Amino acid sequence: MNFPEYSIADWHKLAARELKTRDLSDLTWNTPEGIAIKPLYTAEDLAELEHLSTLPGLPPYPRGPRATMYAGRPWTLRQYAGFSTAEESNKFYRDNLKSGQTGLSVAFDLPTHRGYDSDHDRVVGDVGKAGVAIDSVEDMKILFDRIPLDKISVSMTMNGAVLPVLAMFIVAGEEQGVQQDALAGTLQNDILKEFMVRNTYIYPPEPSMRIVADIIKHTASCMPKFNPISISGYHMQEAGATCVQELAYTIADGIEYVQAALSTGMKVDDFAPRLSFFFCIGMNLFMEVAKLRAARYLWADLMQSRFAPQNPASLMLRTHCQTSGVSLTSHSPYNNIVRTTIEALAAVLGGTQSLHTNSFDEALALPTEFSARIARNTQLILREESGLSKVVDPLAGSYYVESLTGSMIAEARKLIDEVDALGGMTRAVEAGMPKQRIEASAAKRQARLDSGEEAIVGVNRFASDSEENIELLEVDNQAVRESQLARLAEVRATRNEDRCQSALNKLSERAASGDWGLVQLTVEAARARATVGEITAALGREFGQHRARPQAISGVYGNEVSSHDDVAAIRQRVDGFVKSYRRRPRALIAKVGQDGHDRGARVIATAYADFGFEVDIGALFQTPAEVVRQALDNDVHLVGISTQAGGHKTLVPQVVEGLRAQGADNIVVICGGVVPPNDVGLLEARGVSAVYGPGTRILDTIPQVLDMIEHRLQQA
């Protein structure tokens, strides 16, 4: 049957009739990246797009790095996990492998990330809370007990203490009978993004980049099945980056790592085929699909133009993906199962090589066995029941997806050019440019959520009056620490101390010399049963320690919510405080322990400052005593503590007790972040005035906080 020809103008007329009085321009909207999204895409939108006309498995790879993709082999199901002791994590891993998981992804606790042994006085509240505690080879051997390291690939999220952790993994393999050349897996080893967003750094940027290059050089010659780095945008999006920022800065990081590896004397084809990437997948399904396609194209294009590799595999971007943690809500947590499913679908349609799906309860606590099983089964259902693995790149040719991919490429190039103008990503990080851009994006998004412009079902739209009671996992921090202390004592008592100290001294000498070979000497120290903390200190004697300077952006949050109904009343309330007490309300926004996730703290600091508070931002990794001292020195009315990693029950009450001991009962202490509901009453009983969970509107907290401050001042 023949149909008459219709034009775009015909569609406009039809749409206008359907909309009655509305203008068609109302249907166009801008993403947070500034990309205009139209209501209709046609073949005309594909004109002159540079990434088209290619096949899967061939450069520049927008349709996927493998010719047959999932039709040949499904993506790897790799669930990120680790908590408590090595024994507990080992049991969890073996159970998951029996249930269909095909690779391991290890989460380490924060003391391990930061290069501290579990007996250090700065990590009392952090041991075993947000990952597994590893102090020595003995812990690593238990972690992989009865897991054949010559058959199971292992991904390890480690950046700061990357040398001792890699070395202990190698030695654990050796003592299991598996040599280095048979070990398969991935080491995150992406230190640049730590300086930008995640903050589990130890040494300054220059020696940190030397460690990255040393590891790439070692694995290229000794560990051919191992990916020496996972260049990670995940934590950027979690810290508030837009998809374009995540894409651009991740690719720019990758280029910087290639240049660092080349400085060791290797050729690009010696190591580039083993580089891997790691992206976050949020709730804008098509944007995330386009991001992965654009990432593969940009990487191939920049690698070809800048380094001219001879091996096509050196142009290939292979990636692991994880569904977004920041999209999870503490309110109506079962909604998170749907969110994770949508994000997993986006990752698969975008062509990821492996995937982690978050558990629905992770905005409240570490996942339970029940919630982890649902997360794992989400992937299994997509893989086994949906038909997604039957066709290579099923969205190829979509007018919308291809146009969006082109827009992502163009916008990311603008940011990469900015990084290049500063002299590369290391210089850009030292200047603080990417961090400031990401923080501004985080503040803008929080403002959109607080104003209701951006919807979250169950939080600021369609909220339920009742909350579900769900079982949460509780890690006994004290018991884990005692277990680690006992094993540390045994290791130190039974090792050959002369051999251990000799190995540590040789490592320090190599660090001072500037020569390559840090990995091999760290392996020697690990064989001698040197601990994570001792190896870190041996390197630190020569490399020094990085200390970030806390800075806050201003105006971003306030400008975004300026038209909201609550704003005028809040400003009047702050002005009233100033008139009554002849000074502005002053707040210290602090982090305690080794939790470096500072998105929440910085957004709160920015918002409170925009509404007239004087705001001090505490340094990262403070002890409770250091927070108390800063609060007293700065004469604050309020201490707000941001917590994301489970140390709140130990650390936050210590701040309250420290203030009381100094006679500063008039200072209000509040807590925000990931706090299980059952812990709220405990904190309040210990003197915390309020606890604010994920999804709380900042605009609601300011009047409440002023009430608390005024009540304390009137009592004084």
Name the catalytic one among 597, 637, 648, 649.
597
Is 591 among the catalytic positions? yes
Q: For 320-463, where are the alpha helices, taking DSSP H only?
A: 335-350, 369-385, 399-421, 425-431, 433-451
- C-alpha dist (Å) from residue 680 to 265, 394, 451, 658, 671: 55, 47, 26, 20, 9
- C-alpha dist (Å) from residue 596 to 111, 156, 548: 11, 18, 11
- The distance from CA 518 to its chain's CA centroid, rounded to whole angstroms, is 27
Name the catalytic one among 93, 201, 234, 297.
234
Burial label, 692 (beta-carbon count in 10 A; 0-12, 13-18, 19+): buried
How far, in Å, CA of 232 to CA of 239, rounded?
A: 12
SS (H, E, C) 44-91: HHHCCCCCCCCCCCCCCCCCCCCCCHHHHCCCEEEEEECCCCHHHHHH
Maximum pairwise Cα distance, the chain: 89
Q: Measured at the alpha carbon of residue 447, what is the angle toward residues 581 and 330, in degrees to the nearest 5?
A: 100
How far, in Å, CA of 120 to CA of 132, rounded?
A: 16
One-letter amino acid of 132: V
CA dihedral 418, 420, 426, 432 (to 10 degrees): -20
Name the catalytic one among 61, 80, 297, 608.
80
Q: Count of CB atoms within 10 A of residue 86's CB?
A: 24
One-letter amino acid of 82: G
Task: Specify the 3-state DSSP secondary structure of 613.
Answer: coil
Encode 662-676: b = buried (16+ Cβ within 10 Å), e = exposed.
Answer: eebeebbbbbbbbbb
Q: Which residue has the tokens 């230190």?
A: 191
Asked if omega into 56 is within 30° of 0 (cis), the reply is no
Token output for 287:
């944007």
Backbone angles phi, psi at 108, to 5 degrees: -100, 155
Name the catalytic one among 595, 598, 610, 616.
595
Burial label, 279 (beta-carbon count in 10 A; 0-12, 13-18, 19+): buried
How far, in Å, CA of 657 to CA of 654, rounded?
A: 5
Q: Which of 395, 490, 463, 521 is nearest to 696 (CA)?
A: 463
Name the catalytic one among 51, 193, 291, 591.
591
- The distance from CA 50 to its chain's CA centroid, rounded to whole angstroms, is 31
- DSSP symbols for 423-445: TSHHHHHHHTHHHHHHHHHHHHH
Is 711 among the catalytic positions? no
Q: For 135-242, where are the alpha helices, taking DSSP H only?
A: 137-143, 162-176, 192-193, 205-222, 234-238
Is 80 among the catalytic positions? yes
- The distance from CA 90 to its chain's CA centroid, rounded to whole angstroms, is 23
How far, in Å, CA of 54 to CA of 403, rounded?
A: 15
Name the catalytic one among 129, 218, 235, 649.
235
Determine contact, residues 168/137, Cβ cutoff 8 Å: yes
Give the sheet arrangement for strand 638-643, strand by strand. Answer: 614-617, 586-590, 638-643, 668-673, 690-692
User: Which residues are known to be catalytic?
Assistant: 80, 234-235, 591, 595, 597
